[in-house]
Structure 1
Amino acid sequence: MKRHRLGINGPLVSAIGLGCMQMSGAVGPHLGPDRDQDGIATIQAALDVGINLLNTGDFYGMGHNEMLVGRALKGRRDQAIISVKFGAQKSPSGAFLGFDSRPASIKNFAAYSLQRLGVEVIDIYQPARIAPDVPIEDTVGAIADLIQEGKVRFLGLSEANAEQLRRAHATHPVTALEIEYSLATRMIERDILPTARELGVGIVGYGVAAQGLLLGDMTAPLPPDDRRAKLFPRFQGANLVHNLKRVSVLKELAAARNCTPAQLAIAWVLMRGEDIVPLVGMSRPSRLPENLAALELRLSKEDLGLLEETFADGAIIGDRQPPQFKHLVPN
């Protein structure tokens, strides 16, 4: 497994990372009664092939995901780089309550995460969103304290804009910015990615399949019980019809290249630069071979040109986040 330095002074991480949210985040047809066993098997299979970046959050399954990662890493802690997001607040019913990035809360969250993970130190620790009511300097300062105490190794951010990234980096060096990046979501190329590269901050790109839009198996309209149609404007009405016309080009190219649309989507992100590590979400080990095959896929200039034309910034219409969260992410 090829590895890259994450940021100028960060850890060596695998060319792709494993997103663990699907192992705990929701109960659905993809999560059966054996979900814990499947999740642990997926993490361990990923470690076996050299994937060492594991991405989790203390609110994934209300702590379940961290405990799952901890169980999977028993006896294998030195093989993993653990990235943890914090700050999202939920009620027992799962209702979203907001984000908490106050310094005292951060240190409390970290204490619980260390316990659930069963580790002495968290490799990368980052707020899930930049809370609008807390100065980012205060949030970063609390994580810097944890780094000084030896409880965290590296500072990360998630969904920060260029100005927030600069302010955070001026307080303490930022190792990585986790942010949505895919053929369908390219807004970081305007000013966030150039700023990260100027500062020496690595990019961890989530949503490389755009919540399934780029998998090539979707039809419009989505079933009434599909939560994406309820939450995300890009999956609604005329937006989805328009977007699937773009995806049809990806499907045709994948068929011509004898690969899947998902592999093409991952390969495209991989080719955007060695400072960008795509996160690939999986909940079963059977998904691993298909995703790994994207590492061997090489796109020609003609392929890249076609994708560039089809998926130019703004070609996919409809917001990438639900309306109530739009103010918490760069657009």
Structure 2
Amino acid sequence: MAEEQMFQIPKVKLGTQGFEVSKLGFGCMGLTGAYNAPVPEDVGISIIKVAFSKGITFFDTSDVYGPKTNEVLVGKALKQLPREKIQLATKFGIVGVQPTGVVVNGTPEYVRVCCEESLKRLGVEYIDLYYQHRVDTSTPIEETMGELKKLVEEGKIKYVGLSEASPDTIRRAHAVHPITAVQMEWSLWTRDLEEEIIPLCRELGIGIVPYSPLGRGFFGGKAVVESLPANSVLASHPRFTGENFDKNKILYTRMENLAAKYGCTTPQLALAWVLHQGDDVVPIPGTTKIKNLDDNIGSLKVKLMEEDLKEISDAVPITAVEGSRTYDNMLQSTWKFANTPPKDAVV
């Protein structure tokens, strides 16, 4: 207990505009039902409060989680916490998900309406970090960013972020107003952003916020690998089904063996690998259990050298991962397809 009380989660800067957050964030999505059933409201509030008490100050939500109920839950938790010590991130842009794919809106009018509604649901006067959740490929990014810039000037948001944005979109957006953080899927088994996105973010001074840093829970513990709940949406995910899942389980076993060598749990080693990718990297794992929260925080105590990171990377070769990182109907909304038309091309 004394050691736990002594351990402090370090603070790091996201971007170059002065935004400081805890090195480990907390993704709130699962509290209102995403992969499994939602937890009772009092339990969700309690988990957020416990995370804060343990040093996590960076909380991530979105208007589409729930939908909308996640922001309400987070807002209720914030009422019981010191607002000035919290860094709150939420997102806009996803109108809905249809069998054919994700419906996205990035028009200036929609940006403003979403921001106003999120402020009300959250019960706050400002949002620290406001992301475009997915890119609207029919609206020039300059138009979306122009409205976000106005919201910054009005004090309704402090910093601007993008999620699943292409290199061209990131560069063009950053030219309108500084982008503080880019949120992307990044884990041991999802590393396609390392070639283009990460170098670009570092060139422009943009922080990186990995979502699903435990591979959508794949590296989160033996239970997921041994018996995926039948009601989980992951039961239809390409990497968690059929032969793909059977082959991917081999990767989990390798990580399990390595974790024993490093004296930590499998999820701690997987998360520590992400944490060690740079001081500008702040992963946001989520959980509905205090035990898992403690495990995630414990990953910050795992010290890895360059040769260790290579050994871990080699244990999960990206070419050995079977299945797409996303559902087929979500593929077109990922960063590789997220270019927007030139501003002068839209009449």
| The one of 205, 208, 211 aligned to 2:210 | 205
Matched residue type, 2:298: A
Return closer, same or farther for 1:54/1:223 CA change in 2, 3 Å cut-off.
closer
Return closer, same or farther for 1:72/1:266 CA change in 2, 3 Å cut-off.
same
Name the counterpart of 2:138: 133
Q: Does 1:89 align with 2:76?
A: no
CA contact (8 A) 1:22 1:282 kept: yes
Name the counterpart of 1:110: 115
- Identity rate, percent: 37
Q: Does 1:19 align with 2:27?
A: yes
Name the counterpart of 1:240: 245
Q: Does 1:49 align with 2:54?
A: yes
**Unaligned 5+ runs, structure 1:** none
Q: How far does the alpha carbon of each residue in 1:40-89 deviate from its partner, in whole angstroms, 9 at most, with x for none? A: 11111111122111100011112111111111111511111111111212
| The one of 249, 254, 258 aligned to 1:249 | 254
- Count matched residues: 326
Return closer, same or farther for 1:329/1:273 CA change in 2, 3 Å cut-off.
same
CA contact (8 A) 1:220 1:241 kept: no
Alignment of 1:101-250 (within 5 A): 101-217=106-222, 218-219=224-225, 225-230=231-236, 232-250=237-255
**How far apart in 1 are the matches of 2:101 and 2:75?**
25
**Unaligned 5+ runs, structure 2:** 1-8, 337-347
**How far apart in 2 are the matches of 1:89 and 1:6?**
27
Moved more, 216-225 or 71-80: 216-225
**How far apart in 1 are the matches of 2:285 and 2:96?**
25
Return closer, same or farther for 1:144/1:284 CA change in 2, 3 Å cut-off.
same
Q: Does 1:318 align with 2:323?
A: yes
Q: SS of the residue aligned with 1:155? A: strand
CA contact (8 A) 1:220 1:240 kept: no
Q: Does 1:80 align with 2:86?
A: yes
Q: How far does the alpha carbon of each residue in 1:24-43 deviate from its partner, in whole angstroms, 9 at most, with x for none? A: 134845x44xx211111111
Q: Does 1:5 align with 2:13?
A: yes
Name the counterpart of 2:269: 264
Q: How far does the alpha carbon of each residue in 1:206-254 deviate from its partner, in whole angstroms, 9 at most, with x for none? A: 1111112222424479565442231x22223222222211221101111
- TM-score w.r.t. structure 2 length? 0.88
Give the C-alpha shift of residue 313 in structure 1.
Answer: 3.4
Q: How far does the alpha carbon of each residue in 1:252-287 deviate from its partner, in whole angstroms, 9 at most, with x for none? A: 111233321111111101111000001110223343
CA contact (8 A) 2:130 2:159 kept: yes
Moved more, 282-291 or 51-60: 282-291
Q: SS of the residue aligned with 2:182? A: strand
Name the counterpart of 1:285: 290
Q: SS of the residue aligned with 1:213? A: coil
**How far apart in 1 are the matches of 2:303 and 2:171?**
34
Return closer, same or farther for 1:276/1:149 CA change in 2, 3 Å cut-off.
same
Give the C-alpha shift of residue 301 in structure 1.
Answer: 4.6
**How far apart in 2 are the matches of 1:286 and 1:152?**
33
The root-mean-square deviation of aligned C-alpha atoms, in Å, is 2.2
